[in-house]
Amino acid sequence: MAWLMHDQRDKPRRALLCAVQLPSVDDAELEGSLVELRRLARTLGIEVVGQTSQRRASFDAGAYLGKGKREELKARIEAGEADTLLIDHEVSPSQARNLEKDTGADVMDRTAVILDIFHRHANSRAAKAQVEMVRLEYMAPRMREAASENNTEGRQGGAPGGRGAGESGMELDRRKIRDRIAELAKELESMDRERQTQRARRSNMPRVALVGYTNAGKSTLMRALTASDVYVADKLFATLDTTVRQLLPETSPKILMSDTVGFIKKLPHGLVASFKSTLDEALEASLLAHVIDASDANFEQQLEVTETVLREIGAGEVPRLMVFNKIDRLSAGDRESSGSEPEAAKRAALLAKWPDAMVISAKREADVAALRERFVAFFNAAREEAELAIPFDKQAVRAEIHASCEVLDEAWDEHGARLRVRAEPATLARIKQRLEA
Ligand SMILES: Nc1nc2c(ncn2[C@@H]2O[C@H](COP(=O)(O)OP(=O)(O)OP(=O)(O)O)[C@@H](O)[C@H]2O)c(=O)[nH]1
Ligand SMILES: [Mg+2]
C-alpha cells in the first residue's frame, strides 16, 4: 500500500507528479509547488518521470482528479510510464484509495512524502518519537479505509462469515497503533519535562534562534556563527532537532544561538503541533533571525509560509531580523553576461522593501561577521546599565550576574561587592528581585 514506507520497497518508485490547480493558484505558484514536490521526491530517492496538472474549481470529492484525467493516467500507467502518482496535496484515505483503483498506480500524497523524509532524517530520541507519532496518526485512518475495502471485497467474493481474517488482523493492528500512540505521548511528555528543566537553566541568557524555510541555509549559518558541526545538506529537512550553541567569538555576556527545523508549504498539521515543543526552545529567544533563500524564485511565498507557521506556534510577536541569504548565487549563475549586477540589483530591491534586513551569503566570512555584529548590537541596544550591591550573604547571585550580564566594573567594600553591569531590563529586574528576597 502506498502510504506504507517508501523504504520498504526494494525497487525505486517511478513517479508522476499530479496536481489540481485551484482557481486561487496562478501558474507560477503551481509550478513552484511542483518543483518543490520534485525536490521532496528526490530527497527520498524517488525518480520523477513527469508531471501533470488540471484546472478545477475544487478537488474531485471521490478521487481528487477528474474522471478524464484518471482515464488518461490509467493508460499511461498501463503503458509502463510510471508506477506511482505523487499528489501535490493531502488527499483523504478514500480519495487515495479510489485513485489507486481507477489508475492502477500507487498513490502517495505530499504529506506521506514529507512524513517519510522526517522519518528518515530523525536522529534524536525526541525527533524519532515525534515523527513516529505523527506517522501513526496519519496511517490509522488509512488502515481503516483499507480494512473496510477488504471487507467489501470479501463479501462480494462470497467469503463465508461477516468478518474476514484480514479485517480482524487489521483491528489488531489498529489497537496496537492506539496503544503505541498512547505510549509515545507519555514518552514525549517526559522528554518535554526534561527539556523544560534544561531550558530554565538557560533562560537568563540572551538568545537568537535561526528560523526559516527548509534549505534556506540556517545550519550553514549556525556552523559559521558558532563553529559547531551541525549537519548541512542540500536536501529538504536536513535538520529536525533544535541545537543550541554559543555565538563565537565569545561575547559578554554570552549569546546563545539555536538552529531549528525548517518549514515548508502545506506542512502536515500534526508535524507543526509535534515540533512545537522542539521549537519552543528556540521561540523563547529574544530575537528570531528569519533566514530566507533569496536566490529561490519563490522566496516571498516561502517567507510568508514561515511567518504564518511562526504565528501559529505563538511566536508572532518575537522581534525579527530578516536575513536574506545565498545572495552569492545570483551573481554566480549569470557571471559572464553581467558581472555582479544581478546581486547588486537584488540587494537594492530587497532593502527597499525590508529596510532593516541583512542581505548576505553564508559562504562569505565578512557577511557572517556582519551578521554577528547585528546580533551583538541588538542585545546592546536593548540593555541598560545598573549599579548592584551584593551583600556577603548573597554571593550566589554574583555568579548569576556574571553569567547573564556584562560586568563593567567590580569593587569590594565592607558590605560586600559593588558591580556596575549592563544587561537586558528583564534580566536586571530578575536579579534585583533575587537581591531583595
Ligand atoms: N551558494 C550558497 N549556498 C548556500 C548558502 N547557504 C547555504 N547554502 C547551501 O544550501 C544548502 C542548504 O543549507 P542548510 O544550511 O542545510 O539549510 P537549512 O536551512 O539548515 O535546511 P533544513 O535543515 O533542511 O531546514 C546546502 O547545500 C548549503 O551548502 C549561501 O549563502 N550560498
Ligand atoms: Mg538545517
Question: pLDDT, tens digit, for every residue of 304-321?
Answer: 999 999 998 889 989 999
Quick one: pLDDT at residue 192? 83
| Ligand 1 atom nearest to CA at 362 | 31
- Find the range with the poorest average confidence among 105-114, 236-245, 300-309: 236-245
Q: What is the mean pLDDT of residues 286-311?
A: 94
Query: Does residue 236's CB lie within 6 angstroms of at least one atom of ligand 1?
Result: yes
Determine the residue of 44, 117, 210, 215 to mutate for testing ligand 1's pocket, defined as the one with the most ligand atoms within 8 A of the Cβ atom.
215
Residue 162 banded pLDDT, cuts 50, 70, 90: very low
Ligand with the closest atom to the CA of 211: 1
168 pLDDT higher than 70: no
Residue range 329-354: mean pLDDT, rounded: 77
The 3-state secondary structure of 213-276, one letter per residue: ECCCCHHHHHHHHHCCCCCCCCCCCCCCCCEEEECCCCCCCCCEEEECCCECCCCCHHHHHHHH
Q: Cβ(232) to ligand 1 under 6 A?
A: yes
Ligand 2 centre distance from Cα of residue 361 (Å): 16
Has residue 380 got a pLDDT over 80? Answer: yes
Instruction: Name the more confident of 232 and 201.
Output: 232
Q: How far is the CA of 238 from the centre of ligand 1 (A)?
A: 9
Atom of ligand 1 nearest to the CA of 235: 24
pTM for the model: 0.83
Q: Is 362 in the pocket of ligand 1 (CB under 6 A)?
A: yes
> 39 CB less than 6 Å from ligand 1?
no
Q: What integer pLDDT is reported at residue 335 of this predicted model?
A: 47
pLDDT band at 350 (very low <50, low <70, confident <90, very high): very high
pLDDT band at residue 8 using 50, 70 and 90 as cut-offs? low
Terminal C-alpha separation, the chain:
64
What is the chain's mean pLDDT, rounded? 87
Q: Ligand nearest 218 Cα, by number?
A: 1
Sorting pLDDT into bands at 50, 70 and 90, what band is 406? confident
35 alpha carbon – ligand 2 mean position (Å): 20
Provide the pLDDT confidence category of residue 273 given band limits of 50, 70 and 90: confident
Report for 189-193, 214-218, 333-337: range of highest mean pLDDT: 214-218
SS3 readout for the chain: CCCCCHHHCCCCCEEEEEEEECCCCCHHHHHHHHHHHHHHHHHCCCEEEEEEEEECCCCECCCECCHHHHHHHHHHHHCCCCCEEEECCCCCHHHHHHHHHHHCCEEEEHHHHHHHHHHHHCCCHHHHHHHHHHHHHHHHHHHHHHHHHHHHHHHHCCCCCCCCHHHHHHHHHHHHHHHHHHHHHHHHHHHHHHHHHHHHHHCCCCEEEEEEECCCCHHHHHHHHHCCCCCCCCCCCCCCCCEEEECCCCCCCCCEEEECCCECCCCCHHHHHHHHHHHHHHHCCCEEEEEEECCCCCHHHHHHHHHHHHHHCCCCCCCEEEEEECCHHHHHCCHHHHCCHHHHHHHHHHHHHCCCCEECCCCCHHHHHHHHHHHHHHHHHHCEEEEEEEEHHHHHHHHHHHHHCEEEEEEEECCEEEEEEEECHHHHHHHHHHHHC
Q: Which of 232, 242, 296 to mutate to test the pocket of ligand 1 (most atoms within 8 A of CB)?
A: 232
At 115 the pLDDT is 94
Q: What is the pLDDT of residue 267?
A: 84
Give me the pLDDT at residue 157, please.
Answer: 41
